[in-house]
């Protein structure tokens, strides 16, 4: 008798606990299905025989290692400190604007401009600010919950370096690659997320700084939107 009572109480308790969980899971699956069907339907409505023009805007976080080559210095006592490379961790945020073409819903060509704002993690007085210009080539792979994107690109940069009383301008170039996902909410508007990796080499072109060259190896992640025409 006691076992029957305990089993009945346990059954009611499990039903009370599992019912809301089952409801949440059901709503999650329905929402995912609806979102997938919405994107998939819009993607199917877009013509692959038309070249689509896209304009995008995104905000990105960037972080990674920056190697700075430092000039040799003569000390007050006449000794010489040899040149060396300082390797430090930097982080910051960027704003990126791009315009491009998408062919056959599969191939993308883009040009972009990024406002760069990076700071040395342990010294807020040491920073890099400036611009990057990108030329990118990417491929698009259709997916029910969002189109997957992968691409590579070349970049040119002009960055202003500041550290306490030092101020100099650096020019350089590099390359990068990215992975992302793009979700259509209409045939004219989509939202996307992207992760990227950049490698660049810059040399001092003007100003004063004991740093004569900079090599960056950074990663980033961003969110943005696109307008399609």
What integer pLDDT is reported at residue 81 of this predicted model? Answer: 65
What integer pLDDT is reported at residue 70 of this predicted model? Answer: 87
Q: Is residue 13 part of a domain?
A: no
Q: Is residue 106 part of a domain?
A: yes
- How many domains, the chain? 1
Residue 148 maps to which CATH number?
Answer: 2.40.160.20
What integer pLDDT is reported at residue 144 of this predicted model? Answer: 84
What integer pLDDT is reported at residue 23 of this predicted model? Answer: 47
What integer pLDDT is reported at residue 164 of this predicted model? Answer: 84
Q: Is residue 109 part of a domain?
A: yes
Q: Is residue 140 part of a domain?
A: yes
Q: Is residue 45 part of a domain?
A: no
Mean pLDDT in consecutive groups of 10 residues from the start of the chain, 229 residues: 45 48 45 58 85 96 92 67 82 96 96 96 90 97 91 96 92 96 92 96 92 94 95
Q: Is residue 36 part of a domain?
A: no
pTM as predicted: 0.78
Domain extent at residue 220? 52-228
What integer pLDDT is reported at residue 14 of this predicted model? Answer: 39
Q: Is residue 35 part of a domain?
A: no
DSSP string of the chain, one letter each residue: -HHHHHHHHHHHHHHHHHHHHHHHHHHHHHHHHHHHHHHHHHHHHS-SSSPEEEEEEEEEEEEEEEEEEEPPEE-TTS-EEPPEEEEEEEEEEEEEEEEEEEETTTEEEEEEEEEEEEEETTEEEEEEEEEEEEEEEEEEE--TT-EEEEEEEEEEEEEEEEETTEEEEEEEEEEEEEEEEEEESSSSEEEEEEEEEEEEEEEEEEEE-SEEEEEEEEEEEEEEEEEE-
What integer pLDDT is reported at residue 145 of this predicted model? Answer: 84
Q: Is residue 23 part of a domain?
A: no
């Amino acid at each position: 008798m006691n076992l029957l009572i305990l089993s009945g109480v346990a059954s009611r308790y499990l039903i009370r606990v599992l019912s809301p969980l089952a409801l949440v899971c059901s709503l999650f699956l329905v929402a995912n299905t609806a979102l997938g069907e919405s994107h998939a339907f819009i993607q199917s409505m877009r013509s692959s025989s038309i070249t689509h023009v896209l304009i995008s805007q995104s905000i990105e976080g960037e972080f990674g290692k920056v190697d700075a080559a430092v000039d040799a210095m003569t000390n007050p006592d006449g000794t010489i400190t040899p040149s060396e490379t300082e390797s430090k961790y930097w982080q910051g945020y960027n704003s990126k604007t791009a315009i491009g073409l998408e062919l056959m819903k599969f191939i993308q060509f883009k040009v972009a401009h990024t406002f760069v704002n990076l700071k040395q993690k342990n010294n807020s007085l040491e920073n890099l600010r400036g611009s990057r210009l990108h030329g990118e080539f990417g491929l698009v792979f259709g997916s029910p919950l969002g189109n997957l994107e992968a691409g590579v690109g070349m970049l040119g940069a002009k960055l202003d370096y500041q550290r306490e009383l030092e101020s100099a301008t650096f020019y350089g170039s590099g390359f990068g690659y990215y992975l992302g996902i793009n979700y259509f909410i209409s045939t004219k508007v989509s939202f996307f997320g992207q992760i990227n990796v950049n490698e660049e080499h810059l040399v001092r072109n003007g100003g004063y700084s004991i740093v004569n060259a900079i090599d960056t190896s950074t990663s980033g992640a961003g969110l943005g939107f696109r307008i399609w025409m």
